[in-house]
Amino acid sequence: MSSLFLWFAYYAHVKSIEGISNANLSMTNNYLLQVRTNFQNYLSALNDQVNDLIGDKRLQDLLEPAGGDAASEESFTVDLLTWLYQRTSAVDAFRVSVYPIDPGRYADYLSTIGEPNVGAQPWFRQSAAQVSPSWYLKLPEKGRMERPLLSYVKRFSGLYDQTPRGIIATDVSEDQFKRFFSPSGQMIEQRLLLLRDDDGVVLYDSFENGWTGTAFPSSVFVEQFRKDSEGEKTIEVGGSKYLASFVRTDNEPWAIVSLTPLKDLTGTIDEINRATVYFLIGYLLCCVGVVLYITASFTQPIVRLVRYMRKLESGDYQQQIPPSRRQDEVGWLYRGFGSLIRKIEGLINEASRAERDKKELEFQVLSHQINPHFLYNTLESIRWKAEKHGAGEVAQMVAALGNLLRLSLNQGKEITTLGRELEQVKAYVQIEQARMGRPIRILYGVDDGLKELPFLRLLLQPLVENAIQHSIRNDFESGKILISASREGGDIAIDIIDNGGGIPPEALAKLDMEQPPGGRSSESAKGVGLRNVNNRLKLYFGDGYRLRIETGPDFGTKIALRHPILDKEDKSRPD
């Protein structure tokens, strides 16, 4: 056990060092991304400033192709230098120079700015021959500049023609670079570099431009940032190991590189190692003490409780659980387990009583079934005698009543068929017509293929009774009832429609109310058929199968009933 704790502590130590390194690396990468964003914003602004100069009408007029004598050349020199002095102060760069596309015609101007042979320079000839702008690294020269300059060179033509007129060169010095390429304060010896990715030449070095103009000293690293947009690699330079991170710029073939000595990142690890050793020793001692305490205070009591539970699984409900005075979770477990045993004993006794009561109820149900069958047989005898004595109307009414009783009984089963349910409705309508002495116009639109499908009994007759008693009873001449049934997906969709006066609002309000205890009162009886059907549907099939009622005094009542299509093999109550 102690070795496991020791291994875990060592693993945590290794992961903490790894976390420190990853945090430093993440910080460096985020810093580089910020540097790239700021530097690219500067380059974009610089390009806009150069474009503003190119679009200046005065510059365009000065460099318009035309011949001239010495006097005009002298005037050109003065005018162009004056324009440069006035306009280039707005450009965020070390220096801005403008060169005519044909330098041979402006020897006086080029001598004045100290570049009489600029036309022979390779960068000038290359820029004059191409449309896209270029960057050139200018290294220090005697008597000209003491620091390297990165020059942004762009050829421009007339505003209204494509004739090249000149070249504008914008020199960026280390003063501009330092605003973006300053090492973060947390890394003392961090070095930020701007590299050209085609040959790995350093364009800027934050460490006093020590490597500027030379190739980066790790060709393997150069190959990596040529292929990837960002990344990091541990390299060795001058006998020291560095963590080199880089991000590539979006618009130029450059890479911004951070070079950090590994000792800056892992300098505190030795101190962490010593602290970790002391911590592991103390941790090991504490672990041993904690294990002993947990074993004595928690493990052993839990083990004893498990033994009691196993006895309970074997059926020993008479075991005595020793009382516990502890006020923690273990004490609550002991007291709760003892209470659970007592409740189980009570439930077993209650289940035994319920089983006895169930047997008695089953006996009573079997006894009571004799009465409805006796009543049905009696009705059959009355019908036979009525037919024998010529009372055909009485015989038909008694036959319908007997058929209604037989279909209602359904051999004690809750599930009948849709066809038998419709026969029950027809028997009820026949009785009502005979009782009232008035014909009831009722139409049936039911597919024959649906009549053999299982259906919960006593659903349609209460709804038809409700339509007769409350909708069309006052107007048998024009009153009509339509019963239609169709298959919709996995359901039977049944609509019962009448053209009566609609259902009273108080009856609809009581649709979801529970039936009051002790039977139906005179008030609660209104709408009880609807409520019973609605409650039975929700009880058997869920709330999604409740009745949907549309009613009003102007258009009558439409009751929509949905019944799931059950397995024909299942003649019992659905699950």
Neighbouring C-beta atoms of residue 572, cutoff 10 Å: 11
For residues 195-234, b (16+ Cβ closer than 10 Å) or e, as one string? bbbeebbbbbbbeebebbeeebebeebbebbeeeeebbee
CA 10 from chain centre, in angstroms, equals: 38
C-alpha angle 514/517/523, rounded to 5°? 70
Alpha-carbon distance of 154 to 56, in angstroms, equals 15
- Would strands 442-446 and 454-456 be described as parallel, antiparallel, or unpaired? unpaired
Helix (H, G, I), strand (E, B) or coil at 163: coil
- Would strands 442-446 and 481-488 be described as parallel, antiparallel, or unpaired? parallel
Q: Give the CA radius of gyration of the chain.
A: 50
Per-residue pLDDT of the chain (575 residues; tens, 9 = 90+): 545 555 665 565 566 556 666 666 777 788 888 999 999 999 999 999 999 999 898 998 888 876 555 568 888 889 999 999 898 888 999 999 999 998 888 888 999 988 889 989 999 999 999 989 999 998 887 656 678 999 999 999 988 888 899 999 999 998 888 888 887 655 667 889 999 988 889 999 988 888 998 999 888 888 888 888 888 888 888 888 888 889 999 988 999 998 888 776 665 565 666 777 777 788 778 878 888 877 877 777 777 777 777 777 776 766 667 777 777 777 777 777 677 777 777 787 888 787 776 666 555 544 444 445 445 555 666 666 666 566 666 666 666 666 666 666 555 577 889 999 999 898 888 888 877 778 888 999 998 889 999 998 889 988 998 888 877 777 777 889 999 999 999 999 999 999 888 887 877 777 765 554 444 444 444 456 788 889 889 888 988 999 999 988 888 899 999 999 988 765 444 44
Q: DSSP of 91-141, one letter per residue?
A: SSSSEEEEEESSGGG-HHHHHHTT-TTGGGSHHHHHHHT-SS-EEEEE--B
Q: What is the largest CA-CA distance in the chain?
A: 150
Task: Please name each of the domains of the chain with its CATH number.
Answer: 2-43+181-267 (3.30.450.20), 55-176 (3.30.450.20), 271-365 (1.10.8.500), 442-564 (3.30.565.10)
Helix (H, G, I), strand (E, B) or coil at 519: coil
Alpha-carbon distance of 496 to 551, in angstroms, equals 12
Beta strands in 387-441 (DSSP E): 415-417
User: Number of C-alpha atoms within 13 angstroms, CB side, residue 348?
Assistant: 10
Phi and psi angles of residue 63, each rounded to the nearest 5 degrees, phi first: -100, 20
| Cβ neighbours for 480, distance < 8 A, ≥ 6 positions apart | 441, 442, 443, 472, 498, 499
C-alpha angle 291/294/297, rounded to 5°? 145
User: N- to C-terminal Cα distance for the chain?
Assistant: 53
- Specify whether the CB–CB gap between 33 and 247 falls below 8 A: yes
* 475, amino acid identity: D
| Cβ neighbours for 419, distance < 8 A, ≥ 6 positions apart | 451, 452
pTM: 0.47
Neighbouring C-beta atoms of residue 76, cutoff 10 Å: 18
